[in-house]
Structure 1
Amino acid sequence: MTPQKINLFKYQDLVLHTVVLVILMALVWIVYGKTMDFGVVWDDHILTTASIYSEKDFIGILTRPANGFEYLPVRDITLIIDYINYGGWWGGFHRTNVVIYSIATTLVYLFFFLFLSADGMRDKKPFIVAFFLTAIFALHPIQVEPVSFIGARNALLALLFSAAACIMIILEKEEQQGIFYWAGLACTILAMFSKATSVFLPLLFIIMNMYLFKKSTIKNSIQHYLPYLIVTAIVFLLHVVIASGGAIREPLTIFGLIGKLPNIILIPEFYLYKFLLPFNQLVDYPISEYLRHKTLLFILSTALIIMTYRLYVREEKQRSSIWLFLVAYMLALLPVMNLLPTYPTVADRYAQLPLLFITPLIVLPLIKIFDLKWFTPLAIIAIAGLTNLSYQQVNIWQSDDHLFSHTLKINPNSIKSLHNLGNHSWKNGDKNKALQYYKQASDINPVDMTYDFYKARYAEENGYINIAIEHLNTAIKKKGTFLSLAYFKLGDLYIKQGEYQLAKETLENGILQVGVSPQDQLNKKKAKIKITEIDRLLQ
């Protein structure tokens, strides 16, 4: 089946598109406009404040990973532009996020409209259906994290270029013009250099080709998109090589993969659950708590796998829209299934691209069941509810204190929240309160070194060098992000006490533990300079 011609530029259609988009943009800005009053939170302190951005180092952005473990030049260029336009006003960075999301929402609407029109739904008012799909997608509380978190701009840009690429694929089939094919490839490359999770796109386009042309075989579709697959393989390998230096914590092995099976099974169910019940969005979900309910998880997983398989078999024969979006959802999940051992296991920002496909997967069958006339009031109620939930959820992103207090209230064992609340208190001068948070984290996870590390800093600041050394020696026997820094601090204290040989050995051990971030590399250089100075003293 060749899709029917779609004319986006008839006067009546332009008016309808304009009305729909004005409503969507108004809702997006009502929900997210207030983020312009917010500052930086969480990993924004690391991901968006690196000197490579503030120094407008465009060459550095293009030639190396800006933060030491991700090569995402598209995202990084937008951050440099923000520094040029807004300097240190973080509200401007948030404004850019909302603008990018507004453009992405527009493209998502056009994708849904083109898809529905190509699917022969003109008699079923694709404007209205596309509006409902886009509104549910764009106003869902899962979107709050990637829009309100400057550090998640990569997800917004990946969404924008992924939606644009999907549009190009449909237009290529519609107009039979090669320019759309190559424009789609360009958008795909931009998406992959915005966020690595976009690497599934060529596989999606193969499935879309089989959907749009029912007689097309998988072999023909693969041949058609072979340039996409080759480019994607190169980009994927580049991402893996760079991430292996920092973001990927350990190599993937067959035993590691087997150990991850519970997570792999849980993740598709988890995002489906959060889509259907969009309450209590967190930056640190208690995944370990979910996994403890092994029997319930096994029953639900088995039932879902059977239902999914039966649905796939039934719909695959017709290559229906349900088949397309079911496969698309699973493909979009592949990069976020924790196959490569990154952290965290799940996050709302990871769900943004899968949400693009789970929305029509759930909503389109409901329209068929209820008919559009009866579905419309239900959709309006749902959109109003989602808008309200998202509007309230945005408030927690105004500061670290709001964000992690909210998370800790729902997930009392969130070590991430305790660490960040401790960091927030320490930065604001309330060091006793900070130590209380770090102590709570240590009680939950005794091998966490953070409490001992900050006790050492507190002791040093108050002149108790021997006590600081004792705490640092305890800290380096544990695990945590401060391991190399703990060695370097300990080396400095040994230097102050004149124990130069011990200081040298400690600094050398610290160098072995150094990560890939720019700050880690700077600390490494300082440690090497100190070792050179110690060698001179010992001669």
Structure 2
Amino acid sequence: MLDGSGDSKVWAIAGRLHPAWVGVLGALLYLPTARYGLIRYDDPWLIRDNALLHRLTWDGIRRVFFDLSVEQRLQLGAEYLPVRDLSVMFDFAIWGDRFAGHHLTQVLLYAGVCALAATLVLRLLENRGLAWWVGAAFALHPVHVEAVAWLSERKGVLGALLFFGAACLGVRYLRVGGVARLVGCLVLLAASALAKGHMLAGAGALAMCALWSADAVPRRRWTLGSSALGIGALVFVPIYVAGQSVGMVQPYHGGGFLETLALSCTVHGKYLLLMMLGGPYSIAYPVGPDFTNFGLLGLGLLGLLVFSFLTVCAVFQSSRRNAANFGLGWWLLFLAPVSHIVFPLQNLLADRYLLVGSWGLLLVLGLGVVRLPRRSAWVVGLSWLVASTVWSVTQLGHWESSRALRLHAVSVHPSHVESWHRLASQAEEEGEYDQAEAHVAQGLERSANATDRWRLYHRRALILQKQGRIDEAIRWLRVAASRPEAHKAYANLGLLLARRGEIRDGLEQVRKACEYQPRSAHNQRARGIVALEAGEVEEACAAFAEARALEPFNADNHFNLGLCELRRGDDPASEAAFEQALELRPNLVDQVDRARRSAPR
């Protein structure tokens, strides 16, 4: 297979132990996350409150695999990832709402990822010492903390496990053949992409494995490469259709292609720095359309040009193919889907995007380490692993709670509005209104040039509302309701105006909210409430019905629709909605009885 020869004596300590045992390192590192709970960042709505995933039923399985409706996709995170959803269903079947068990599942999956990542090095290069070091470096690298410690990133860890399994089977097929190995490889490849769409890049990685394996039978190389690309193309279709329907593919972040290209190079530079242990690591970095760092831009551009040149030369000249440019090509392949050049995504950059791609750069680094003189190799190799462990343990501590995570984020990126907003939201929910306002004030002070400051104005208004200061809340909501992205501010403004008796003005605001974002259940509920107060019963019922379609497991949506149908005089529809509400939340029985008794006869 590939040539990864070097001073293997340095790694004689590995002996006859299979490098897959590095999975134990990964498990031990992340075992403390078993005492962690949920993070207020997608975990509540995607996992805790997502009733569809709480029961392992045939109907639930059918819906996650075959229901591509906008409403269903929004409920499942605006993506088509049925394998991820199925794994969460199994978690609830095994652990229920004991989320320590969910974290334990995540740790075990990651241990499997590390074991397979090391095994892949061994199968490709037949160098046990190199496989041990790359596997250990992979298991301990701090850029993986986000993917393992955050339950909502189950898709990344599961997708990585399935893909590395596919790659190991694919390489084995290239060596010894076997239809079962080929089929297993392709099935795992498809499953990995249905766990995380990013794994579609794995089709290209398998094609690279085939192309670089010069000693394999040509027919096997062609079969694996073409089959992998074909499966990738087939799986891409439902993923793209679902993502396009819910707006997952965004406009270019930089305003145009060239600006986004420069931004993408800056992001690449940051990724290279993070891979070289240039922390701190965080869920937010000071990189964006309004951010200029010529150092990162230059590093990213240089890396992109050099890596691309070496990889392209190897693709077209077999004599240039080696393990190093294979690793660089692997890195570029898994970078492409999150580079924002092919598909501009919602998030500009994130540690979790590097989970599988990092293997390529660590392979290149490992090749350099094993070629050093014996003493130097030990010093460099162990120093890297120790530094990785220190960074990872430090970053793990930040994931212990939502508050710790966000406080660390604003220490790394002081102008990150979203983190200030979430800190204020958490303090507000805990009744610490002064602390919540302090977070809002700090965020506004440090984000003078941010385009999403409206979030903090919106949060300030909600804090004031909680304290009964309605007039002040309305004033700040009018400031927040300044752009289409602030659609929830329009909805909340409409609700408060109606509460103050300004029904028509309130109705205008909630209609704007639904115009800007009709797929928000919150906006549709607000429109239904205000329209009903305004006597617009037909509009109210339509809005409540849409809210129910968007959030079918929210009992309030069924109850609101029941009230509206009762007002409209449609008793059968009202009773059906009330029954669904009671099925979801039995303690609504008193409210339903009062509504029935108060209905005009």
Is TM > 0.5 for Structure 1 vs Structure 2?
yes
**1:47-85, CA deviations, whole angstroms, 9 ceiling, x for partnerless residues?**
322222235543332234243411111111121222222
Q: Judge conservation of contact 1:283–1:348 (CA < 8 Å) in 2.
A: yes
Q: 1:390 to 1:290 in 2, by over 3 A?
A: farther
**1:144-197, CA deviations, whole angstroms, 9 ceiling, x for partnerless residues?**
111111111111011101101111111111121111111111011111011111
Counterpart residue identity of residue 403, structure 2: D
Aligned to 2:45: 46
Q: 1:25 to 1:253 in 2, by over 3 A?
A: closer
Q: 1:379 to 1:499 in 2, by over 3 A?
A: same
Counterpart-to-counterpart distance in 2, 1:156 and 1:78:
11
TM-score where L is the length of structure 1: 0.86
- Tell me which moved more, 68-77 or 207-216: 207-216
Aligned to 1:449: 454
What's the offset of the Cα at 1:500? 3.2
Match of 2:350 among 321, 326, 347: 347
**1:420-457, CA deviations, whole angstroms, 9 ceiling, x for partnerless residues?**
21122112111221122123333413652223223332
Counterpart-to-counterpart distance in 2, 1:388 and 1:241:
42
Counterpart-to-counterpart distance in 1, 2:384 and 2:223:
42
Q: Judge conservation of contact 1:291–1:297 (CA < 8 Å) in 2.
A: no
Match of 2:111 among 74, 79, 102: 102
Aligned to 2:502: 499
Q: 1:167 to 1:90 in 2, by over 3 A?
A: same
Counterpart-to-counterpart distance in 1, 2:264 and 2:283:
19
Match of 1:485 among 472, 475, 488: 488
1:260 aligns to what SS in structure 2? Answer: helix
Q: Judge conservation of contact 2:252–2:340 (CA < 8 Å) in 1.
A: no
Q: Judge conservation of contact 1:262–1:291 (CA < 8 Å) in 2.
A: no
Counterpart residue identity of residue 151, structure 2: I
Question: Which aligned pairs between 1:159-308 and structure 2 lie closer than 5 A?
Answer: 159-213=160-214, 224-246=224-246, 248=248, 250-251=250-251, 256-288=256-288, 291-294=291-294, 296-297=295-296, 299-301=298-300, 303-305=302-304, 307-308=306-307
1:225 aligns to what SS in structure 2? Answer: helix
Aligned to 1:459: 464
Q: 1:307 to 1:251 in 2, by over 3 A?
A: closer
Counterpart-to-counterpart distance in 1, 2:222 and 2:247:
31
Counterpart residue identity of residue 330, structure 1: L
Q: Judge conservation of contact 1:448–1:479 (CA < 8 Å) in 2.
A: no
Counterpart-to-counterpart distance in 1, 2:238 and 2:404:
37
Counterpart-to-counterpart distance in 2, 1:15 and 1:60:
49
2:412 aligned with 1:410, yes or no?
Answer: yes
Counterpart residue identity of residue 459, structure 1: L
Q: Judge conservation of contact 1:72–1:194 (CA < 8 Å) in 2.
A: yes
Match of 1:439 among 415, 427, 441: 441
Q: 1:2 to 1:332 in 2, by over 3 A?
A: closer
Q: How many residues align?
A: 511
Match of 1:396 among 384, 395, 398: 398
Q: Judge conservation of contact 2:327–2:361 (CA < 8 Å) in 1.
A: yes
Q: 1:428 to 1:253 in 2, by over 3 A?
A: closer
Q: 1:418 to 1:302 in 2, by over 3 A?
A: closer
2:348 aligns to what SS in structure 1? Answer: coil
Counterpart-to-counterpart distance in 1, 2:47 and 2:516:
24
Please provide the CA RMSD for this pair. Answer: 3.1
Q: 1:466 to 1:307 in 2, by over 3 A?
A: closer
What's the offset of the Cα at 1:323? 2.1
TM-score where L is the length of structure 2: 0.77
Aligned to 1:121: none
Counterpart-to-counterpart distance in 2, 1:90 and 1:157:
17
> Is there any run of 5+ residues in structure 2 with no aligned partner, and where?
4-13, 539-567, 569-601
Q: Judge conservation of contact 1:165–1:185 (CA < 8 Å) in 2.
A: yes
Counterpart residue identity of residue 139, structure 1: L
Aligned to 1:469: 474
Q: 1:330 to 1:249 in 2, by over 3 A?
A: closer
**1:454-509, CA deviations, whole angstroms, 9 ceiling, x for partnerless residues?**
333233334343333222222211465xx333232222233334433333322222
1:506 aligns to what SS in structure 2? Answer: helix
2:79 aligns to what SS in structure 1? Answer: coil
Counterpart residue identity of residue 285, structure 2: Y
Counterpart residue identity of residue 318, structure 1: R
Counterpart-to-counterpart distance in 1, 2:511 and 2:312:
59
Bigger relative contact order, structure 1 or 2, given CA contacts below 8 A and separation 6+?
Answer: 1
Counterpart residue identity of residue 370, structure 2: I
Counterpart-to-counterpart distance in 2, 1:515 and 1:34:
42
2:78 aligned with 1:69, yes or no?
Answer: yes
Q: 1:159 to 1:247 in 2, by over 3 A?
A: farther
> Is there any run of 5+ residues in structure 1 with no aligned partner, and where?
4-13, 118-125
Counterpart-to-counterpart distance in 2, 1:265 and 1:537:
53
Counterpart-to-counterpart distance in 2, 1:191 and 1:524:
35
Aligned to 1:133: 134
- Tell me which moved more, 354-363 or 59-68: 59-68
Counterpart-to-counterpart distance in 1, 2:176 and 2:435:
64
What's the offset of the Cα at 1:530? 4.7
Report % sequence identity. Answer: 20
Q: 1:247 to 1:31 in 2, by over 3 A?
A: farther
Counterpart-to-counterpart distance in 2, 1:313 and 1:488:
52
Counterpart-to-counterpart distance in 1, 2:366 and 2:290:
27
2:116 aligns to what SS in structure 1? Answer: helix
1:285 aligns to what SS in structure 2? Answer: coil
